[in-house]
Amino acid sequence: MSAAAGLTGLTLAGALAGLRARQFSAEEITRAHIAAIEAARPLNAFVLETPDKALEMARGSDARIAAGEAGPLEGAPIGIKDLFCTRGVRSTAASRILGEFIPPYESTVTANLWRDGAVMLGKLNMDEFAMGSSNETSAFGPVINPWRSAGSNRALTPGGSSGGSAAAVAADLVLAATATDTGGSIRQPAAFTGTVGIKPTYGRCSRWGVVAFASSLDQAGPIARTVEDAAILLKSMSGHDRKDSTSLPIEVPDFPAFVGRSPKGLRIGVPKEYRAPGMPAEIETLWAQGIAWLKDAGCEVVEVSLPHTRYALPAYYIIAPAEASSNLARYDGMRYGLRVAAPGLNGVYEETRAAGFGAEVQRRILIGAYVLSAGYYDAYYLKAQKVRRRIADDFATAFEGVDALLTPTAPSAAFGLGDNTADPVAMYLNDIFTVTVNLAGLPAISVPGGLDAGGLPLGLQLIGRALDEGTLFTLAGALEQAAAFRARPARWW
């Protein structure tokens, strides 16, 4: 193994320790990652590489380390999902309609990361406007999962919408990455790539400067190699922001301090409604194994009921498109991004939006406009909001008797690119275990638990009480230790 390969294979925690100990410089580890990114272009994980900016930031980090002024993430090269606006760096949400948009401002989450010394390697690919479960709706083409099924060269999805973030972490192109989760877009890609992803409590991370999909559901979070790494990155990403009215005015806990604590005595609920019909035996087996691991760690495991679970997916696919149709009305070709010339103002609007939005985004805008229309608002949107309230109440009742819930993350391992593109409902079913958490605003984390028969990663999901990410990190650390997941994708790119 070359020295450069050794640097890209470090955990975030390991890299930060090495930087502080002066075992290598920020510039050296950044150059190693830049080389890895260049060699991994077949994965299509990045929509924009920023090597010059990364080296400039790394040199600044080296100067601060030398002066004894290092921040918590000083010198750590990371990737940024292209949903986060970055000042002076093109930000497109993987859509043609934003064109070459270069924001004159920085999202609060990324500003927090640069404040703490992180280094930006570039912008990561994603489903267009975060709408998708396979990263196939991106205007830049699909991301390819670095994992391959045993004996097959078939291209697999890394999951979505944060597919670029998950693939980049799994392929050792970045130490960690930012991501966002509206209905499972952090946790499902983490499960598909053998990485760790946490969606924090709604309001834990500011949404200011993050391109909106569904404002009451969107939440930023990290994807990383280990539970500890996810805790480190989330600590820097979090914090109150007066520019975001949904940002919670609370102190940020020391998330890494929760990793490694004993979960002994915690009560874990297993929702009986999550035993979906037709669920693969491998998912059932992994779930049972997760239960056994937590019991061995000293937890008490009990069955709980979340009776409105079966209504979560239809409610989500009414609420999310409704909010998207409102949020995406601003993209009209007038102030920024793509503009298609056409006769009359309405003609410009129509032609610009038809050319700028991909098929899945158009589908969701149409669904959203339909469920918000005068004749159908009560029948669909209002009813979905009532169901959402019931789902939140189910969780509140369950958490009266347990400290966290354990479920599978996704109903399968990574599937082939193109498998579900002809059937939107089949694609939407990938979110069956994850959307409830967004509807209720709760935190949840996905941890790799094992491999399927083809050698592909499978994830376990822990769901916690609002603002109780600390307990999730403790439990996730216990699962990580018990699973001892060391598998890595065999390099083919």
Q: Which residues are catalytic?
A: 81, 161, 185
- Count of Cβ atoms closer than 10 Å to residue 224 Cβ: 29
Percent of residues in the chain assigned helix, strand, coil, to nearest 5: 40, 15, 45
Token pair 């390969």 in the structure block, residue: 5
Q: Which element (helix H / strand E) includes 425?
A: helix 424-428
- Cβ burial of 265 (10 Å; 0-12, 13-18, 19+) is exposed
Dist. CA 194–CA 170, nearest whole Å: 7
Q: Which residues contact 174 (CB under 8 A, 6 or more apart)?
A: 33, 77, 78, 79, 121, 168
Token pair 């789902």 in the structure block, residue: 391
Q: Which two tokens stand for residue 124?
A: 């990561």
Instruction: Choose among 266, 259, 283, 274: nearest CA to 307.
Output: 274
Q: Which two tokens stand for residue 290?
A: 């997760």
The answer to whether residues 460 and 449 touch, using CB atoms and an 8 Å cutoff, is yes
Q: What is the DSSP annotation of 131-168?
A: --SSS-S-TT-----S---TT----B---SSSHHHHHH
Q: Which two tokens stand for residue 7?
A: 């640097």
